[in-house]
Amino acid sequence: MKYISTRGACPAVDFESALLAGLAPDGGLYMPETWPQLSVDDARRIGRLPYAEAAAEILSLFAAESFTKEELSAMAADAYGTFTDERVAPLVKLGPEDWMLELFHGPTLAFKDFAMQILGRLFDAALERSDRRLTIIAATSGDTGSAAIEALKSCSRVNVVVLHPEGRVSAVQQRMMTSVTAPNVMNIAVKGSFDDCQAIVKTLFADDGFVRDVRLSGVNSINWARLAAQTVYYFTAWAQLADGDEAVNFVVPTGNFGDVFAGYAAKRMGLPIARLGVAANANDILHRAIAHGDYTPASVKPTASPSMDIQVASNFERLLFEAKNRDAEVLRNAMEAFATNKGMKIDDQTLEAIRKDFISDAVSMEETLAEIARHYKETGALIDPHTAVGRAAAIRLRETGRLTGKIVTLSTAHPAKFPEAVEKATGETPALPDFYADLFDRPEKMERAPADPEAVKSLVAKAFAN
């Protein structure tokens, strides 16, 4: 399997190169040259395997030229062995046609661990083979950073730099990042928004000299390997609840469009998925795009679901590429016009293609807190605000007849990662798991920088230049 750039201006590469590069050199995102195809029977067989085995099977469809099945099996067993629930991604029934897929049983209590735990191991194996080192840089709205740090802190060949918007991540998220004091880990609090952090990362990647000096690479959800790993739980969930070849819906709390795009990839591989519901918070650019064709960033509004406080959703480019029939030239022009005009009107033909697979809704802060309270009253269980955005959207999409049949809502974080919102909605304080009981007593390590690429560059170069 080769990987091509959505912008079409650089050569196709293998899985390992796409893994190590993150962003393609022409500024595009890597995509598999073709979608691996599974029959429904294969999808069911794989989906019913123990989670780590299912992951190894699916990853080998994408990575067979770079890693053997045995290597992938060993890495997946290690990666998903860090999860505290042996089912890894348990499915909880909420009603006759409603389920919740719990994706928060990993070491940093959010779904990012699914991708990051395997990514760390893939990186180590690849770098070991070629005797290289890398500096990974990531912008985070909270969960990617902690997941990356946790997965990479013990990698001997990787430095990790994580930029987060100062004061805009939850106290638990911040502590999970800054309490890791390993010498290869650098946290930078940036005075600005997540989009500012993401823009700084893009600027750094565009600086060839800097990329060479620190051997820069990325683990944001632009990295194809992450999306490949995230397709797995769509298979395992579907296999547990579908009757025969029945197509089911998934509703996904969405920020950077990575998680829901993994669902789209699963569908393209042959998994019977009816619709993918994009659930946005008050930062509703993706809802405006899908419902009205208006892909125009507004300013970022801080909400109770900070990991979705994003306006420019990097992975949306992957969907546009597909919806425009993989015409890289058309896409490149569209993305250049988007950058110049600071927005994009999606044409009817592209929109029609998108709506075959996607439907969307946006959920306000009040509705999010109301859903946490409603869910608690009805089930006695606490859910985190991101999950609540998903559930509120799923309920409304069903009530208004826009989704019918079985719906699985992805539960993307543990409620204790966002205790402030949960407390406000229910009066209850969700408890952190025992292994984080002393989180607020651990020493912190963190740098501060203005929203200026040069300031970040000099911090990173000072610590990690060769």
Ligand X SMILES: *Cc1c(COP(=O)(O)O)cnc(C)c1O
**Least distance (Å) from ligand X to the CB of residue 233?**
13
Q: Are strands 30-32 and 3-5 parallel, antiparallel or unpaired?
A: antiparallel
Q: Site for ligand X (CB under 6 A): which residue of 307, 360, 368, 426?
A: 307
Is residue 112 flagged as an active site residue?
yes
**Least distance (Å) from ligand X to the CB of residue 132?**
28
Residue count, binding to ligand X (CB under 6 A):
17
Q: What whole-number distance in Å separates Cα of residue 95 and Cα of residue 92? A: 9
Q: Which stretch of DSSP H or E encloses residue 165? A: strand 158-165
Q: Phi-psi category of 166—alpha, beta or left, where left has phi over 0 and alpha has psi -120 to 50?
A: beta
Q: Site for ligand X (CB under 6 A): which residue of 412, 426, 449, 464?
A: 412
Would you say 13 or 180 has its CB closer to ligand X? 180
Q: Among the options 69, 93, 112, 406, which is catalytic?
A: 112
Q: Site for ligand X (CB under 6 A): which residue of 386, 391, 398, 457?
A: 386
Q: What is the DSSP letter of 208?
A: H
Q: Which stretch of DSSP H or E encloses residue 187? A: strand 185-191
| Using rule CB under 6 A, residue 112 touches ligand X | yes
Exposed, middle or buried by CB within 10 Å (0-12, 13-18, 19+), for 167?
exposed
Q: What is the DSSP letter of 162?
A: E
| Using rule CB under 6 A, residue 221 touches ligand X | yes
Nearest to 73 by CA among 10, 121, 26, 36: 121
**Least distance (Å) from ligand X to the CB of residue 315?**
7
Would you say 165 or 253 has its CB closer to ligand X? 253
**Least distance (Å) from ligand X to the CB of residue 144?**
6
Would you say 217 or 411 has its CB closer to ligand X? 411
Interface positions, 446-465, toward ligand X (CB under 6 A): none
> One symbol per residue from 257 to 286: x for binding ligand X (CB under 6 A), - otherwise; what is it?
xxxx--------------------------
**Least distance (Å) from ligand X to the CB of residue 363?**
12
**Helix, strand, coil in percent for the chain, rounding step 5:** 50, 15, 35
CA dist 360 → 278, 280, 290, 376 (Å) = 4, 8, 6, 25
Q: What whole-number distance in Å separates Cα of residue 256 and Cα of residue 141? A: 10
Nearest to 28 by CA among 38, 20, 15, 18: 18
Backbone angles phi, psi at 67, to 5 degrees: -135, 140
Q: Site for ligand X (CB under 6 A): which residue of 16, 113, 124, 143?
A: 143
**Least distance (Å) from ligand X to the CB of residue 386?**
4
| Using rule CB under 6 A, residue 256 touches ligand X | yes
| Using rule CB under 6 A, residue 409 touches ligand X | no
Would you say 126 or 260 has its CB closer to ligand X? 260
Which active-site residues does the annotation give? 112
Residues in contact with ligand X by CB under 6 A are 110, 112, 143, 221, 253-260, 307-308, 386, 412-413
